[in-house]
Every structure is written in C-alpha cells, then in structure tokens.
Copies of this chain bind each other. A is one copy, B any other.
C-alpha cells in the first residue's frame, strides 16, 4: 500500500466537480465531503491545476471547476498529477558492484518494473472521470440531481436562528 491517499482524494474531489458541472466548488465543501481539512484539498487541487485538469476562481462565488471534459480526464492523468511516478522502489543504496548480481541487477529491475508500470498505466487509461461519475450514480441507485446534500450548504437555509 502506498503511503499517500492523494489519488483517492483527487478522484473524490473530481467526481464532485464532474457532477456539479459549471458550479464552482469551494475547498471547504470538498473538504467536508472528503472529511479532511480544506488546506489538504487546496494542495491537491493545486497539483491538479498544474496538470491542467482543474482551474480555480478566486473570490466570492469562486471555487474549483474542471478544466476539460470529464470524458477526457483519465485516471492515469490524475495519478501522474498527484502521486510519485514509480510504483516500485529500487534499493535504498546501490548494490555491491563487485558482486556478479549486485553489478547487474539494477537495469534488470528497472526494465521489469517499467514493464509492469506500463501495464498498470494502460489499465488506468481505460477509465475517465465520466466513467467514475456514472459508476457513482449507479451505486447510488438514482441520478444526481444537482444537490450534494451537504448539511450546511453555506450558512443556514433551515436554521433561522
């Protein structure tokens, strides 16, 4: 298991953005859905923005939006944007060069790991954010109607006090 949960959080946030389409999402609202701190969301959104996947609007009424169509955002792009590139680690310190194996194992491992990462990458390429959003709707059992049902949509729509 990787130490980082950024990939899962990024997909979660992007799912919200996909469902809300043109309505900007604030980091505070995304954080509530993910159950984390707004700063964590902002950092991940920053990585996604660097990759051209999302864009953000400052100020009142602002927030994050998708920068391209959900059909064009693959899981591979997201992974590359928020996680370390390698799935497998090599030795911490280089192996003993005077040993037959130590001297020759590294390029073999690199080639082998690269081959497996390519296979995983191909699998990641098969799914887009449009697919994820559709799967979420299927899991929910009913189509998304524009309301995430956050408890406090902003201030208090139901709390007159």
Contacts and interface: CB of A to CB of B under 8 A. Distances in A.
Interface of A: 1-5, 7-9, 11-12, 15-16, 19, 32-36, 75, 84-96, 98-105, 107-109, 111-112, 115-116, 118-120, 122-124, 127, 132, 135-137, 139-140, 144, 147-151
Contact of A87 (B2, B104, B112, B115): B2
Contact of A11 (B109, B139, B150): B109
A63 to B, nearest CB: 15
B104 A139 contact: yes
B11 A100 contact: no
Contact of A8 (B84, B104, B109): B109
A75 B112 contact: yes
B135 A100 contact: no
Nearest to A7: B88
Contacts of A150: 96, 98-99
A16 B107 CA distance: 16
Contact of A89 (B7, B35, B135): B7
A1 to B, nearest CB: 4
B35 A91 contact: yes
Given A7-B88, A34-B91, A89-B3, A12 B136 contact: no
A107 B139 contact: yes
